[in-house]
Every structure is written in C-alpha cells, then in structure tokens.
C-alpha cells in the first residue's frame, strides 16, 4: 500500500462482541453499517482483558490499557500488575515515595491522608494497594488516630450500588485494630472528574480541606443517605464523616493519592500542587507533603512511587520515523487515550503528528446526549481525508463506552447508532481514496447493559472480546487468524503499510501468510 494513501485506525470505545440478546445495545441498536463492514471484509476477534493486555487474570480491560497495548504493539504490563508483584515481593514496603509520605506524617506529628477509589474494580485503583498502605503505616508506627481515608466511591467500574460492601470492609479493617478512620466519602463524579468541570472538583476539595459538605455520623450512614435520595455510588455528594474538623487536610500533613491510573486524579492533584491555580477559589491551601502512586502528569512536582517505564518503537514513533504524518482525534473524554496513552505515556506529539480535541458536551451524564460529539470528530476526519492531509489517522469514538457507563440501554443504543453512522461515512471516504481502515475497540461495555446476576443495570466494562475488521482493496479475500489480542493491531496495520516490525513489538500480524 502506498504511504500516500490514508491508513485509518478507528477505535470504538466500549464496543465489545457478544451474542445478540435483549441487553446487547450493539446488536439491538442495530449497528447496520458496522455489520455490513463485518460481513464484507476480513474480520476476527481480539482479547482485550486479563493477562493478554497485561492485567491480572480475569480483570476487565479499560481505555488506558487498551490504547497503550494497541499503540505499543506488545503486551504492556500494567501498573496494577507491577504494584501487585511488588507487594508480594516486598518492594512496595521499601518504596521510598510511599515510606516518605508516612515518615513525613510521623516526623511532623501530622496526619496521613490516603486518597483514592475504593473497591475491586481494578481500573483506577485496587483494594490490595490501599490495604497494603494501611499495613505499612501501622508497621512504621504511625498511630491510627492520625491516619485518614478520603474515600472515593466507584459505581462505574463496579456495580452502581456496590459501595456498601467496600465501605464496610474498609471500616472494619480500620477499626480492628485501630488503624485509622474514614474522614470523607465522595462519588467519583466529583472527586475524579477529568473534563475540566471544576465545580465538581471544588466540592471534593471543600470537603477534604475545609470540612464543608454533606454530613453523616458514620460511613454507612453516608451511603444510606445517598441511596435514599436516589444517588448511587458514583454520584454520592462529598460527605464529611463525624467531626468536620477532625479529618481535614492541614498544614504538615501528608497526602498519598493511591490511584494507579493517572487521568482522573489530575484535577484534584493540581489543586494541591500548583501555587498558581485559577480554576476555582481554594481558600487557604494547606502546606502538605503530596505523593502519588504513579506519575499523574510529568510536570507535577511531587514524589512518585512507580514512575513510568519508557516504551520504545511504538506505532506512532515508527510512522514518524518514516516521514509519515499522523492525525489523532477524539473528544475530550478520550483525547488522552489517542495521544498520551497510545504513545506509551509520551506527552509531546511526534514530528508530523496533528492533534485535535473536540470538546465533549457539557451535560451531567451522557445518556442526556448519547450522540456526544461524534459528529464533530467525524467532520474533522473527513475534512482532512478530503484534502489528503495525512498518511495515518488514529480516531476514537467515545459513545459506546461513556453512554454504556450510565446503564441506560435506550441511550446506549442511540450512541451505537451514532457511531455506526460516523464509522460508515469515514470508512467509505477512506476506501474511495484507495486507503484502508482498521475498525476495532479497546474493551467491551455496551454489549452488556443488564447485569446477568442482579438483573439491574450493568455499568462496568466487560471481559468480552472486541471486533477487528480490516477494510481495503488490498485485503479483500485475505484470511485472518480467528483470535488475536490488542497487541496484534499495530503489527497488522504496519504489514499493510509496508512498515517493518521491530523486535520490540512482540504482537503478531493477524494476516495469515
């Protein structure tokens, strides 16, 4: 294939593969254009979860993991796996950034605040990690009355009403023996916003720093009060537990943010770390020792327990080295995924890499606007295709994932139809210009809208495989392996483009030779 013809990689976020059924929003929508592409062109399925994407066995994939594996062309072992291994082997307990936070609180007589997501979802944080932090703080002699949890509830990567069990488990662990207490509880809607909705972040800040917010006598009362108002885990208003003065973040304290996934901890971290901060009025900012489990952003001036490991010979790097220009496009919710994560944690664009962010709609939840900004993404891509602007296009459509997370199936079906139309238009234009297109996904979601166990809404990702379609005149009649992994996407596209596969990429082309 000539490098002058466009090569497209379309990533349909949250578009898993499952048998047709009443709760499968993709087949119920229906996705007629996608189905036509599936029927016409070589296709197969890809594993997008567990060990085949560098996660623990059986753990569902996510957007960060998926885009990293796709862009790297190899299985990239994720931070959860790295940290779990370190806990087992003792490296976690010797980690300088972790011990430094605990030692700071010991030395100053201040408190240690553990801040992050509760539960076993394994997408942003892990219960194994925060329980190990508690063990270490106790073993280092930090009194339990100076250990506070600023707890964030999930409800997206776990069932929407599952927090009670996680809160009870943590509360029991803190009480016997006395290792600390839960100071605040907040839904991730407020504490982990990544879309610059600073009014949400401010509510979390005000609760943990100023003791301003909802009140509850104990952690379970906070959960019950929220459920009584019809607010599930994700949307629990920042709530102060017990005495509002007791668990606030103060001068001399240490704050350790234990989420291992970066994107949704950047907003609150900026409020703590940047002296010049104009996103909202912070009031008096406590002078604290702030540390993070992983690097949330390269310019954050704080200790990091697990710094990023450099990845070399990635798809974007190899394309740039051959003088190919690239276009990366997504709306706000997934922009970091087609840029930072796809490039293996690199912030800077490669030479010849154009990036366009299409702002996501300003709605409370995306079931209110299932179309999101897919049309805007499509327009940006089509404009560049029509003028032959780039050689390579990496594009994300967020709808199936973001609307799938709401658990509202009619909205998810509308989201699927929107993406289906956009993909059909883009692929048709690429093929008209002699190009090729890979259509795939990073993980499943919208293909399971009802929890098969509870019968209630299913809002989390799935462990289902994802589709892979290879469209282009050169590939008509080609045979693919029946099953692959996300790491195989880049080698397949590179083979079609005539780019040699480097030894660092251990993914295998899906094309049968």
Sheet holding 483-485, edge to edge: 353-358, 326-331, 392-397, 7-12, 436-440, 466-471, 43-47, 483-485
Could you confirm whether 63 is annotated as catalytic? yes
Instruction: Report the distance separating Cα 335 and Cα 501, nearest Å.
Output: 26
State the distance between the two ends of the chain, measured CA to CA, in whole angstroms: 17
Q: What is the DSSP letter of 161?
A: T
Q: Are 219 and 182 in contact (CB under 8 A)?
A: yes
Catalytic residue among 23, 47, 49, 63: 63
Element of type H or E holding 186 = strand 181-187
With a CB cutoff of 8 Å and minimum separation 6, the contacts of 440 are: 9, 10, 11, 12, 46, 70, 466, 467, 468, 469, 486, 489
DSSP string, 308-374: PPP--S-HHHHHHHTT--EEEEEEHHHHHIIIIITTTS--SPPTTEEEEEEPPP--SSGGGSTTTTH
Q: Shortest CA distance to 122 belongs to which of 74, 66, 81, 76? A: 81
Q: Which residues are catalytic?
A: 63
């Amino acid at each position: 294939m000539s490098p002058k013809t466009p090569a497209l990689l379309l990533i349909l976020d949250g578009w898993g593969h499952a048998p047709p059924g009443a709760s499968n929003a993709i087949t119920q929508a229906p996705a007629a254009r996608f189905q036509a592409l599936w029927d016409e062109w070589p296709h197969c399925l890809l594993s997008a979860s567990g060990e085949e994407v560098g996660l623990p066995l059986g753990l569902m994939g996510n957007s960060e993991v998926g885009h990293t594996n796709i862009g790297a062309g190899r299985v990239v072992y994720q931070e959860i796996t790295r940290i779990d291994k370190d806990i087992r082997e003792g490296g976690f307990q010797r980690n300088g950034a972790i011990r430094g936070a605990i030692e700071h609180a010991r030395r100053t007589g201040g408190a240690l605040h553990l801040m992050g997501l509760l539960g076993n979802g394994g997408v942003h944080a892990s219960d194994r990690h925060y329980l190990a932090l508690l063990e270490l703080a106790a073993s280092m002699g930090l009194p339990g009355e100076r250990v506070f949890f600023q707890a964030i509830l999930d409800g997206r990567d776990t069932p929407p009403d599952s927090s009670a069990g996680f809160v009870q488990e943590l509360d029991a662990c803190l009480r016997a023996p006395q290792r600390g207490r839960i100071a605040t509880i907040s839904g991730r809607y407020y504490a982990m916003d990544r879309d610059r909705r600073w009014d949400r972040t401010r509510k979390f800040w005000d609760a943990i720093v100023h003791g301003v917010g909802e009140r509850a006598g104990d952690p379970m009362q906070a959960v019950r009060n929220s459920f009584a108002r019809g607010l599930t885990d994700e949307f629990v208003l920042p709530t102060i537990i017990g005495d509002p003065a007791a668990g606030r973040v103060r001068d001399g304290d240490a704050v350790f943010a234990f989420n291992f996934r970066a994107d949704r901890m950047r907003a609150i971290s900026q409020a703590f770390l940047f002296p010049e901060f104009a996103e909202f009025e912070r009031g008096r900012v406590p002078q604290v020792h702030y540390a993070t489990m992983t690097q949330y952003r390269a310019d954050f001036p704080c200790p990091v327990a697990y710094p990023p490991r450099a990845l070399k010979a990635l798809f974007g790097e190899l394309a740039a080295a051959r003088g190919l220009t690239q276009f990366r496009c997504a709306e706000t919710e997934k922009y970091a995924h087609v840029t930072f994560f796809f490039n293996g944690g690199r912030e800077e664009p490669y030479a010849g890499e154009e990036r366009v962010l299409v702002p996501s709609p300003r709605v409370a939840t995306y079931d209110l606007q299932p179309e999101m900004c897919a049309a805007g993404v499509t327009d940006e891509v089509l404009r560049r295709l029509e003028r032959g602007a780039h050689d390579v296009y990496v594009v994300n459509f967020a709808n199936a994932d973001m609307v799938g997370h709401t658990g509202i199936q009619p909205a998810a079906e509308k989201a699927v139809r929107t993406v289906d139309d956009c993909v059909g238009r883009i692929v048709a234009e690429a093929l008209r210009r002699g190009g090729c297109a890979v259509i795939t996904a990073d993980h499943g979601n919208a293909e399971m809208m009802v929890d098969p166990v509870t019968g209630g809404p299913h809002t989390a990702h799935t462990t289902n495989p994802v589709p892979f379609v290879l469209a282009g005149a050169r590939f008509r009649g080609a045979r693919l392996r029946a099953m692959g992994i996300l790491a195989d996407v880049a080698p397949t596209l590179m083979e079609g483009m005539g780019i040699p596969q480097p030894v660092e990429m251990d993914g295998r082309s899906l094309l049968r030779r």
